[in-house]
């Protein structure tokens, strides 16, 4: 086969796989709806507010529940989180309160 057709075939196959990614994601999401429900149940019964990431650092495990003044906190109203805390705008009064 000519090289150009080989290339186009290769690109076509890649493109199809690329197009299939969102479909795969959608299916996986549907399939795992039960799992999510389980997590939600846990969340509801324990009234959790946080994800379990960087568990040792108090200010990351529970960014929502930090003190007003804590290490790495950039602003008293900011919800602290290192290092992104320095980049995230704090929720200043009157701004974007849902």
Partner 1 sequence: MKRAVERHLNILEFTLASLLRRKAKNLSLLAMYLLVIFILASLLFFVTGLKREAAVILNDAPDMVVQRLVAGRQDLVPDGYAAEIAAIRGVTAVRPRLWGYYYDALNGANYTVMAGDDTTAISEKATIGAGVAKVRNLAVGDLLPLISYDKAPLLLEISAIFPSASNLVAADMIVISPVDFQQLFNFPSGQATDLAVTVRNAKELPTVAAKIAARFPDSRPILKSEIQRTYQSVFDWRGGMTLIILASSLLSFIIFAWDKATGLSAEERKEIGILKSIGWETSDVLLLKFWEGLVISLTAFLLGVILAYGHVFFLSAPLFAQALKGWSVIYPDFKLMPVVDAYQLAVLFFLTVVPYTTATIIPCWRAATIDPDAAMRY
73 counts as binding partner 1 under rule CB under 8 A:
no
The Cα 89–Cα 80 span in angstroms is 10
Give the DSSP letter of residue 80.
P
56 counts as binding partner 1 under rule CB under 8 A:
yes
9 counts as binding partner 1 under rule CB under 8 A:
no
Structure tokens at 25: 């994601």
Structure tokens at 93: 């009064």
Structure tokens at 97: 């309160």
Binding interface with partner 1 (CB under 8 A): 2-5, 7-8, 10-11, 14-15, 17-18, 21-22, 24-25, 28-29, 32, 35-36, 38-40, 42-58, 60-61, 63-69, 79, 81-89, 91, 96-98
């Amino acid at each position: 086969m000519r090289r150009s057709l080989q290339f186009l075939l290769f690109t076509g196959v890649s493109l199809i796989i690329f197009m299939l990614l969102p479909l795969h994601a959608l299916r996986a999401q549907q399939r795992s709806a039960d799992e999510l429900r389980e997590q939600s149940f846990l969340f509801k019964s324990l009234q959790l507010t946080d994800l379990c990431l960087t568990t040792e650092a108090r200010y990351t495990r529970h960014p929502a529940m930090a003190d007003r003044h804590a290490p790495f906190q950039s602003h008293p109203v900011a919800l602290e989180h290192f290092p992104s805390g320095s980049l995230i705008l704090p929720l200043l009064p009157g701004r974007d309160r849902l």
